[in-house]
């Protein structure tokens, strides 16, 4: 039986899940270190007690010094120390792998974002603003059809009655075009003052709660926020406004300005 394909597959699985595996090793090792340290402490106490009794039986018996106790018992803690070192190494390796993967993803996202921007600019040049708007409206309508409101989240903000679709988080909220323009102006004002603003901050200006990833995306002074709108309809003829960013948020917004 040829086991090479099996080993190759297991190797790929191990590499793919290496951060989780290393983290598990680190956590398990930390628990094992605590157990071994406690076990070593009991053993060391017995050794010191026995050594002290033997010393007291001699004519020049004296209290054992710290150095003497260390020389007698350091081996009791060696397994716990070794396990702790391996646990720390596993955690450090896991962190480095995750950092490299995050950097690779950020680089790939940057390339895609730049390519998308170039494509959009060239499409506008070739088709003209009106045709390009029609294409965006059709794309927005297709997106709306794929994500009906009964399958997503609706957030009532109290800041307008127009239905807005948030493609970044696949959710709907109520607002208005004026409120969105106002949020854009407030966010850009913050960029001019502080140098950057996050996607979470932009949602705050809209009266919508941020999400798990919105803290890590945003804009900075190198490129202010610009938006464009697309109108869509559902099967019942209800209108929905979709908002896209001409300047999409990116992950290095707080350190590249």
Q: What pLDDT score does 189 carry?
A: 94
Let me know whether 152 and 92 are in one domain.
no
Domain-located, residue 49: yes
> What pLDDT does 257 receive?
42
Say what the pLDDT of residue 202 is: 92
Q: What is the pTM for the complete model shown?
A: 0.55
User: What pLDDT score does 112 carry?
Assistant: 58
Give domain status of residue 196, yes or no: yes
CA distance linking residue 169 with residue 186, whole number of Å: 22
State whether 146 and 200 are in the same domain. yes
Q: For residues 192 and 221, is the Cβ–Cβ distance under 8 A?
A: yes
pLDDT < 70 positions in the chain: 1-16, 59-61, 101-120, 123, 150-153, 234-236, 255-257
Co-location of 202 and 170 in the same domain? yes
Is there a domain that residue 256 lies in? no
Lookup result for tokens 């989780």: 20
Q: Same domain for 99 and 132?
A: no
Q: Do 189 and 226 share a domain, yes or no?
A: yes
Tell me, yes or no, whether 5 lies in a domain. Answer: no
Domain that holds residue 39: 15-104
Task: Give domain status of residue 123, yes or no.
Answer: no
Domain termination residue (choose one: 104, 119, 141) = 104
Tally of domains within the chain: 2
Q: Is residue 122 part of a domain?
A: no
The answer to whether residues 133 and 232 belong to one domain is yes
> Phi first, then psi: what are they for 96, rounded to 5°?
-65, -40
Q: Is residue 1 part of a domain?
A: no
For the chain, give percent helix, strand, coil, nearest 5: 65, 15, 25
Q: Of the candidates 222, 219, 223, 224, which has an alpha carbon nearest to the alpha carbon of residue 254? A: 219
Whole-angstrom distance, CA of residue 64 vs CA of residue 56:
10
Residue 225 located in a structural domain: yes
* 237 and 157 co-located in one domain: yes
220 and 164 belong to one structural domain = yes
């Amino acid at each position: 039986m040829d086991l090479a394909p099996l080993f190759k597959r297991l190797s790929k699985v191990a590499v793919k899940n290496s951060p989780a595996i290393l983290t598990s090793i680190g956590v398990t090792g930390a628990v094992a270190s605590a157990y071994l340290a406690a076990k070593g402490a009991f053993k060391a106490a017995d050794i010191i007690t026995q050594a002290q009794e033997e010393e007291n039986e001699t004519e020049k018996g004296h209290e054992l010094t710290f150095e003497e106790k260390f020389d007698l018992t350091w081996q009791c803690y060696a397994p716990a120390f070794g396990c702790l070192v391996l646990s720390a190494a596993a955690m450090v390796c896991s962190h480095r792998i995750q950092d490299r993967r995050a950097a690779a993803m950020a680089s790939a996202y940057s390339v895609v974002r730049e390519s998308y921007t170039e494509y959009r600019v060239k499409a506008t040049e070739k088709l003209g603003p009106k045709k390009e708007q029609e294409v965006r409206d059709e794309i927005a309508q297709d997106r709306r059809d794929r994500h009906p409101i009964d399958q997503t989240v609706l957030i009532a903000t109290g800041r307008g009655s127009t239905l807005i679709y948030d493609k970044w988080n696949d959710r709907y909220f109520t607002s208005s075009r004026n409120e969105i323009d106002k949020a854009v102006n407030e966010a850009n004002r913050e960029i001019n003052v502080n140098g950057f603003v996050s996607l979470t901050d932009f949602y705050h200006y809209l009266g919508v709660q941020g999400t798990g990833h919105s803290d890590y995306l945003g804009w900075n002074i190198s490129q202010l926020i610009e938006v464009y709108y697309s109108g869509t309809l559902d099967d019942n003829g209800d209108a929905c406004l979709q908002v896209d960013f001409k300047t999409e948020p990116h992950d290095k917004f707080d350190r590249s300005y």
